[in-house]
């Protein structure tokens, strides 16, 4: 059933070929939009009743059946029938079967472009919340492990050369603070997804007296996309900003995975991964390869390509809707599943990794303390450049002694080994999270979809 299909004849055998090329995986992804489509239809139908395009009785019946379809979607019994073009057609078909003419009326004042737009906004909003909540769980673990290991020293590196003393507390806490910035990026994506395009029609509005402010409130959106032309142009930008946020988060997880791969190796030996996260070799009995961390690194690196992929689809498109925007589903939808898997395996990996204590007792790390020696001389009144030169000579002639500094590190400023500022980092995360309107959105969705409200 193709409600918008032209009636032009095609040559025998070409119809299936054309459909396979134009539809692609769209029906598969449309199932993920089903709940969003019903929510958009519930809000739109209530608005139609408010402006006199549905009677009160029709609205009650439409609301009842849409909520029944919503429950079918939640129970995973909803399907798109083989001859039905998309999720929008399937929902309208079910309504028409159950209600007759009233089911056909809900398309008044909107186009399929309109429906796709609002579905994508609602879907993206929901999936971003899942990502934010998973990132917060990982953040909490990182802060906890930072506190747990704040006194376990770790070699710090620059250029992959030993540099200065660090600690596992500092290392875990660094990734926690990185997630604060990543959550800021997710907030930007969420805010763009949380604008209402419904009522923009095919991009030029409608002669019906639509109440777009009402559907904005009903769907829990922050505000409208006011200009109807731009509402259509927001398709693509919404996906691009979401993919950019996911790519930044993936960048953090990928670099973390790289550290784990290094730290787990015998040459470093800073962390021990659980056996469940390693695999052996077919010929080397001793091997415990960090396959999970390596795959995490690879998956995250692949996710970092997302913004470029979306941007290239959108390149040089004029205003208005264009069919290739359909391809963006194939980029965005799997990306949400992938980043969630990466967040969850990162949590498992860090929860079960064992830290190696007393690392800096090894003499090979003596030179980590050269800066401590130079700073000691500065405190005694020697200019830093002279102190630097003196310590360099001590290192070169073999007289440098790290022993006095191993147990007497004096790092007290904010964010250093002795002052991790984890409380402040946690406050920063909570401040960012407070700007997500998750509670208000959840209440709006429940009001629309629940028979008990």
Catalytic residue among 8, 14, 159, 282: 159
137 & 245 share domain = yes
Domain boundary, last residue among 75, 90, 107: 107
Together in a domain, 314 and 444: yes
Tokens of 317: 């498109």
Q: Are residues 179 and 62 in the same domain?
A: no
Kindly report the CATH number assigned to the domain that includes residue 86.
1.10.275.10
Residue 9 lies in a domain: no
Does the active-site annotation cover 265?
A: no
Contact 47, 211 (CB under 8 A): yes
Name the residue among 120, 128, 115, 130 with its Cα closest to residue 43: 115
Query: By the 8 A CB rule, do 108 and 205 touch?
Result: no
Domain identity same for 251 and 326: yes
In a domain, 157, yes or no: no
Q: Does the active-site annotation cover 281?
A: yes
Tell me, yes or no, whether 316 lies in a domain: yes
Residues 282 and 138 occupy one common structural domain: yes
Q: For residues 92 and 210, state if they share a domain.
A: no
Q: Where are the beta strands (DSSP E) in 159-250?
A: 161-167, 195-196, 223-224
Query: Which pLDDT score, from 0 to 100, does residue 12 have?
Result: 58
CATH number at residue 318: 1.20.200.10
Q: Are residues 329 and 382 in the same domain?
A: no
Last residue of a domain, one of 88, 107, 126: 107
Q: Is 231 within 8 Å of 276 (Cβ atoms)?
A: no
Within-domain flag for 3: no
Provide φ and ψ at 239, rounded to 5°: -65, -40
- Judge whether 154 lies within some domain: no
How many domains does the chain divide into? 3
Please tell me the predicted confidence (pLDDT) of residue 417. 93
Residues 39 and 172 in one domain: no
Residue 413 lies inside a defined structural domain of this protein: no
The per-residue pLDDT for 17 is: 65
Neighbouring CB atoms inside 10 A of 256's CB total 25
Is 375 found in the same domain as 441? no
Q: Which residues are CB-contacts of 343 (< 8 A; sequence separation ≥ 6)?
A: 131, 134, 135, 137, 138, 249, 253
pLDDT at residue number 1: 47
Is 279 inside any structural domain?
yes
Domain check: are 145 and 173 in the same one?
yes
pLDDT of residue 324: 85
Per-residue pLDDT of the chain (453 residues; tens, 9 = 90+): 455 455 555 565 666 665 665 566 767 888 999 999 999 999 999 999 999 999 999 999 999 999 999 999 999 999 999 888 899 999 999 999 999 989 999 999 999 888 999 999 999 999 999 999 999 999 999 999 999 999 999 999 999 999 999 999 999 999 999 999 999 999 999 999 999 999 999 899 999 999 999 999 999 999 999 999 999 999 999 999 999 999 999 999 999 999 999 999 989 999 999 888 877 767 776 768 889 999 999 999 999 999 999 999 999 888 888 888 888 999 999 999 999 999 999 999 999 999 999 999 999 999 999 999 999 999 999 999 999 999 999 999 999 999 999 888 888 899 999 999 999 999 999 999 999 999 999 999 999 998 764
Question: What pTM was estimated for this model as a whole?
Answer: 0.92
Residue-number span of the structural domain to which 29 is assigned: 14-107
């Amino acid at each position: 059933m193709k409600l918008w299909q032209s009636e032009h004849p095609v040559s025998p055998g070409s119809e299936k070929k054309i459909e396979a090329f134009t539809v692609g995986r769209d029906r598969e992804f449309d199932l993920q939009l089903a709940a969003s489509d019903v929510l958009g239809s519930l809000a739109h139908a209530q608005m139609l009743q408010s402006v006199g395009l549905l009677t009160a009785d029709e609205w009650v019946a439409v609301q009842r059946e849409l909520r029944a379809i919503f429950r079918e979607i939640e129970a995973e019994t909803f399907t798109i029938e083989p001859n039905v073009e998309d999720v929008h057609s399937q929902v309208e078909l079910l309504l028409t079967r159950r209600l007759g003419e009233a089911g056909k009326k809900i398309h008044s004042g909107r186009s399929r472009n309109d429906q796709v737009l609002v579905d994508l906004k609602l879907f993206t909003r929901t999936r971003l919340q899942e990502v934010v909540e998973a990132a917060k769980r990982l953040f909490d673990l990182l802060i906890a492990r930072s506190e747990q290991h704040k006194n376990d020293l770790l070699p710090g590196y620059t250029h992959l050369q030993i540099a200065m003393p660090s600690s596992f507390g500092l290392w875990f806490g660094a990734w926690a603070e990185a997630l604060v910035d990543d959550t800021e990026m997710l907030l930007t994506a969420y805010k763009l997804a949380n604008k209402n395009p419904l009522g923009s029609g095919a991009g030029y509005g409608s002669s019906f007296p639509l109440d777009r402010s009402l559907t904005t409130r009903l769907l829990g959106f922050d505000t409208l996309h006011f200009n109807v032309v731009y509402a259509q142009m927001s398709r693509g930008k919404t996906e691009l900003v979401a993919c950019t946020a996911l790519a930044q988060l993936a960048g953090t997880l990928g670099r973390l995975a790289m550290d784990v791969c290094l730290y787990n190796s015998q040459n470093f030996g800073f962390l021990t991964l659980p056996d469940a996260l390693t695999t052996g070799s077919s010929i080397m009995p001793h091997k415990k390869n960090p396959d999970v961390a390596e795959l995490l690194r690879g998956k995250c690196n692949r996710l970092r390509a997302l913004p470029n992929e979306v941007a290239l689809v959108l390149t040089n498109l004029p205003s208005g809707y264009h069919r290739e925007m359909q391809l963006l589903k194939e980029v965005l939808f799997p990306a949400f599943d992938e980043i969630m898997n990466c967040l969850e395996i990162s949590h498992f990996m860090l929860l079960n990794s064992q830290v190696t204590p007393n690392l800096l007792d090894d003499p090979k790390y003596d030179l980590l303390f050269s800066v401590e020696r130079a700073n000691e001389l500065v405190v005694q009144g020697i200019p830093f450049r002279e102190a630097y030169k003196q310590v360099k000579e001590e290192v070169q002639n073999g007289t440098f002694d790290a022993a006095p500094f191993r147990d007497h590190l004096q790092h007290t400023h904010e964010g250093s080994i002795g002052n991790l500022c984890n409380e402040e980092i946690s406050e920063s995360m909570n401040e960012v999270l407070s700007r997500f309107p998750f509670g208000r959105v959840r209440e709006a969705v429940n009001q629309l979809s629940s028979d008990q409200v």
